[in-house]
Amino acid sequence: MKTRHLVLGISVLLVFCLNQGISQASIFEEAARRGEESLRHKEQLRETIKEQRHKEQAQRLEAIENWFKNRQEMKGKAIKQAYRQKNLTRAEAVMVIAKFKKWNIAGATQAVFLDVPARHWAAGYIQSGKDRGLLKGYGDEYFRPEREISLGEFLTMLSVSENFKTEIFNKTKPRHWAEASFKAAQHQGLISNNLQPDREVLDSPVSFDQASELLSALKN
């Protein structure tokens, strides 16, 4: 459709310019110039969006860092309200657990997953989580680091990192794949007994506030 419009536009421009006595070569030079301007504009727009995303990511990571630095004194208040209510991505969730557990993180030397190259900001955290058995990629070897993490996924990572005995909660037909991790966390007092491990609960995203409450409960 876009190609058809472009051809139509050039045709209209060609007819107009021929009527005005402008050479055909000049017409195509003008069309090429406009095409280059359009490409430059699109490239500038992509760069602006990328810079904005990087800026927001840096601010989110700084907010998380501040929480860990001031956790004992501030009890999470060091994080701005705007960031505290935002849902964690899968990459951020791994980083939060890694910092809470005080893992010794080394930079990744090669791609961890197809969408987590060695240069990815969270590659070291994701590699450490993978090595410790906390996480797996999807069947297509992708990790989806920017996807929001669900409560079920977060509790599964916590259960592994804390060595919760999830096997005692396994059922022949669980209501959800993460039900055992949910019940293990509930048994540890991290989750209210009023909650049920249904799909609506376990598939819901996790905000930083919720994650910090779960981690803080481990220390109590």
Q: Residue 178 above 60 pLDDT?
A: yes
Q: Which residue has the higher pLDDT, 44 or 208?
A: 208
* Cβ(155)–Cβ(179) below 8 Å: no
Percent of the chain with pLDDT over 90: 29
Report the mean per-residue pLDDT for the chain: 76
Q: Residue 152 above 90 pLDDT?
A: yes
* Cβ(84)–Cβ(76) below 8 Å: yes
pLDDT of residue 75: 46
pLDDT, tens digit, for every residue of 90-102?
A: 998 998 898 888 8
Predicted model pTM: 0.67
87 burial type by CB count under 10 A (0-12 exposed, 13-18 middle, 19+ buried): middle
Q: Which residue has the higher pLDDT, 7 or 67?
A: 67
pLDDT, tens digit, for every residue of 179-201?
A: 999 999 999 999 988 989 999 99
Tokens of 36: 């280059």
Q: Which residue has the higher pLDDT, 33 or 146?
A: 146
pLDDT, tens digit, for every residue of 10-24?
A: 555 555 555 555 555
What angle separates helix 123-131 from helix 90-101, to the nearest 10 degrees? 70
pLDDT of residue 73: 44
pLDDT of residue 159: 93
Show Cβ contacts of residue 45 under 8 Å, excluding neighbours closer than 6 positions: none
Percent of the chain with pLDDT over 70: 59
Tokens of 190: 């991290």
Backbone angles phi, psi at 87, to 5 degrees: -80, 145
